[in-house]
Amino acid sequence: MVVPELIPKQQCEDLIEVICEFLGVKREQPESWYSISPRSQENLTIKSLQGMTELYHHQAMWNNRQYPRLYDAFVDLWGIEELWVTIDRVNMNLPNRDGWQNDGFLHWDIDLANKNNVRNIQGVLSLNDNDENMGGLQIVPDLFKQLDSWLKYQPKNRPRIIKEKLDFDVINLESKAGDLVIWDSRMAHGTSPNRSNKPRYAQYISMCPAEPEEEELLKIRLESFEKQLGPRKCGMPGSVLEENFGPKAKLTELGQRLLGSVSW
């Protein structure tokens, strides 16, 4: 589902400027975009080939997370007010050129063996306008609808990344700056190839029911915010470069509750 114009465009513009500053690139200078080699196990840069950028806690990101209309949308979806916001990254997906070749990917973020126990919503906020060729979100709706029957013919414990060609249509979603795109976690999804001449900018953002009784998880969230690092124990590696990238974000009362530093 695409929720249009949920976040003000100026807040999206502000975050794009922050992303470019963090990466040390000039928004209007394409040659500068490719100055950072893609992240790998051997070369831990702050940006992956798919555009995942290791920035989590800048004020511009929290301005979007604690924006009341965003919270209201997830209250409607979950049917409860006691929510936590996800602590996730931003994305700058570059156009394919000059040896930078991102073919896109599809995957699940859940364990397919336990998919029937999953009730989760994922989301991505578009920071600039995306047409179907700009490297935005891609999904496979028909596979989602037929997932149970499809999995019967798959090996057990199959990998979460889809490497084979599918017999289902892969849809590249279009969205505008400020639009929030949300999907069920059981839907295969990923970043599509950018075949345009402009980067795609986005922030991964969602909310889920608060779990203050999960003391270890709460500790991870609070430490991540205090130290301005990714929540590594949750699979988000982060970068030490963020520690010195601007002051710690200031949270509203809603933001504090969404983080978990103040209880509902």
Domain ranges of the chain: 2-259
CA atoms of 150 and 146, how far apart (whole Å): 6
Across-strand partners of 90?
Answer: 53, 203
Residue that is written with structure tokens 């364990």 in the block: 111
Superfamily per CATH, domain 2-259: B-lactam Antibiotic, Isopenicillin N Synthase; Chain (2.60.120.330)
Amino acid identity of residue 241, one-letter, is L
Burial class (CB in 10 A: 0-12, 13-18, 19+), 215: exposed
Is the pLDDT score of 125 beyond 80?
yes
Q: Is the pLDDT of residue 69 over 80?
A: yes
Q: Which amino acid is at 60?
A: A
pLDDT in tens, 71-112: 999 999 999 999 999 999 999 999 999 789 999 999 999 988
The CA-atom distances, in angstroms, between 83 and each of 65, 89, 206, 259 are 12, 19, 10, 9
At a CB cut-off of 8 Å and minimum separation 6, what does 58 contact? 15, 18, 22, 242, 245, 246, 249
- Residue 46 pLDDT > 90: yes
Q: What pLDDT score does 182 carry?
A: 97
Query: From the CB of residue 64, how many other CB atoms can be counted at a distance below 10 Å?
Result: 22
Return the pLDDT at 98: 77
- Give the C-alpha separation, 2 to 145, whole Å: 18
**According to the model, what pLDDT value does residue 113 have?**
83
Q: Give the pLDDT band of residue 119 (cuts 50, 70, 90).
A: confident
pLDDT tens for each residue of 175-203: 999 999 999 999 999 999 999 999 999 99
Beta carbons of 253 and 262 less than 8 angstroms apart = yes
pLDDT band at 56 (very low <50, low <70, confident <90, very high): very high
Q: What is the pLDDT of residue 41?
A: 82
